[in-house]
Amino acid sequence: MKNQNIIIVGGGFAGVELAERLLNADLESHIILVDKNNYNFFPPLLYQVATGYLDVSNITYPFRKHFRGYANFSFIMGELIEIDTENNTAILSTGNISYDKIVIATGTVTNYFGIDSIRRHALPMKTITDAIYLKNTWLKRIEEASRTTDKDLRDQLTTFVVAGGGPTGVEIAGMLTELKKDILFKDYPELKGLAFEIYLVDGLPKLLAPMSKNSQAYALKSLQNNGVIIRLGHNVQDFKDNTVYLADGSKISSSNLLWTAGVTAQRFNGLKPESYGKGNRLLVDAYNEVLGTKNVYAIGDTALMTSDPKFPEGHPQLAQVAIQQAKLLAKNMIAKMKGKAPIQFEYNDKGSMAIIRRNKAVADLNGPLKHLNGFPAWVIWVLVHLMSLINFRNKLTTFFNWMNAYITKDQPLRMIIDSHTDSKK
């Protein structure tokens, strides 16, 4: 087998899974992982970092430590700028690397749908940096609300609008209700009697659109019963002057717009425009090779495959898709090196789930039992997410944090740690 340079761009679910599989296959190939961060993180739990229920270290782990001990592994911190397909070169923000195969597993970024005011002022939740900034921001605004005597300003600072009725929007709206019920007024007695309104807004007529009607109905009722004001069929059109403007002409006075309304993949120089499909996702064949290219692959959220008979419009952008594509691509790469035929990808849909709040979740399953909600679904959600963390350390620390939060209905992680604060003042 020829000694090859295999570059993997992106260290999320897909990138780490692929790297692990290739490294454990004892190939002579050199595996190079490229990421703009020096750590892996677990996106499904970002909202718990943003609301102070988990520490950053619970859901992150350094790449260099995780892959320590592999002589044929290298990590490069940088961003992919261009792929020179003629010369098989990846042009990064930190230098150039030649490749025999390159795999793009860069996931997605926040989509603001071209609304500049939302891009500048809303609070996204796509990265660790976003989660930390969101936590610092809402805590600062609550502190300000506890000091001010201006009632209108107080209401604006303590009203939260969550844009996006998918799992992330539902989960953070539910977590905010727990903060309101169990923590806020204990920490801030000055705010007792304040409404602390929580809105959940989505342009579609239902929450959790990809899930079953049972899950949608349960989520809607659970959130409403806990005081969340649901506005369905209403897109957010603008956000300025502490006001959220909806497409129907109505508006909500709030300083806090939490943006979970959409994502888009990234485009890279060097790849032809016809290689991209809806949402900037790279069009790939049944083996995850980018159409119109050679030795360029894409997996996970950034890939759009239409050859799977069960998913002719492409697969959902879920962790399980990314992991399964990474596993098969590793297997196919190894088979190809050995002169064997590759296998076409077909997604094995194991179902989907979303947590709503304490003891409440929904799960759609592909088995004899099709749907669960309430406490049983919550237990499954906890176990699945706990076991999906990258290593034992993260699993253990997250478990103890969750146990503490569950027993005490509290979590002492509401510190404002602002990297922009001048410590010399």
pLDDT in tens, the chain (425 residues): 457 899 999 999 999 999 999 999 988 899 999 999 999 999 999 999 999 999 999 999 999 999 999 999 999 999 999 999 999 999 999 999 999 999 999 999 999 999 999 999 999 999 999 999 999 999 999 999 999 999 999 999 999 999 999 999 999 999 999 999 999 999 999 999 899 999 999 999 999 999 999 999 999 999 999 999 999 999 999 999 999 999 999 999 999 999 999 999 999 999 999 999 999 999 999 999 999 999 999 999 999 999 999 999 999 999 999 999 999 999 999 999 888 999 999 999 999 999 999 999 999 998 888 999 999 999 999 999 999 999 999 999 999 999 998 999 888 889 998 766 544 43
In the three-class reduction of DSSP (H, G, I as helix; E, B as strand; rest coil), residue 414 is classed as coil
| Predicted local confidence at residue 419, as pLDDT | 62
Distance between CA atoms of 268 and 156, rounded to whole angstroms? Answer: 40
Asked if 171 is an active-site residue, the reply is yes
Alpha-carbon separation of residue 164 from 134, 247, 351, 410, 424 (angstroms):
16, 14, 21, 26, 40
Distance between CA atoms of 109 and 107, rounded to whole angstroms? Answer: 7
Alpha-carbon separation of residue 209 from 220, 221, 298 (angstroms):
12, 15, 26
Q: Which amino acid, 355? A: I
Q: Residues spanned by CATH 3.50.50.100 within the chain?
A: 116-263+352-408
| Predicted local confidence at residue 423, as pLDDT | 40
Q: Residues spanned by CATH 3.50.50.60 within the chain?
A: 5-36+78-108+265-337
Distance between CA atoms of 154 and 147, rounded to whole angstroms? Answer: 9
| Residue 123 near residue 44 (C-beta atoms within 8 A) | no
Pairing between strand 228-232 and 198-202? parallel
Task: Pick one of 2.40.50.140, 3.50.50.60, 3.30.70.1230, 3.30.56.10 as the CATH number of 5-36+78-108+265-337.
Answer: 3.50.50.60
Backbone angles phi, psi at 142, to 5 degrees: -65, -40
CATH class of 116-263+352-408: alpha beta
Q: Which helix (H) or strand (E) holds 350?
A: none
Residue among 174, 197, 190, 201 nearest 253 (CA): 197
pTM for the structure as a whole: 0.93
What the block records as the tokens of 380 is 């499954």
Angle (CA) 145 148 152, round 5°: 75
Strands (E), 242-323: 243-246, 251-253, 256-259, 263-264, 282-284, 296-298, 303-305
Q: Is 395 exposed, middle or buried (0-12, 13-18, 19+ CB in 10 A)?
A: middle
The residue behind tokens 């989907």 is: 352
Alpha helix (H) residue ranges in 294-374: 319-337
Of the residues 171, 190, 289, 313, only one is catalytic, namely 171
What the block records as the tokens of 229 is 């004001």
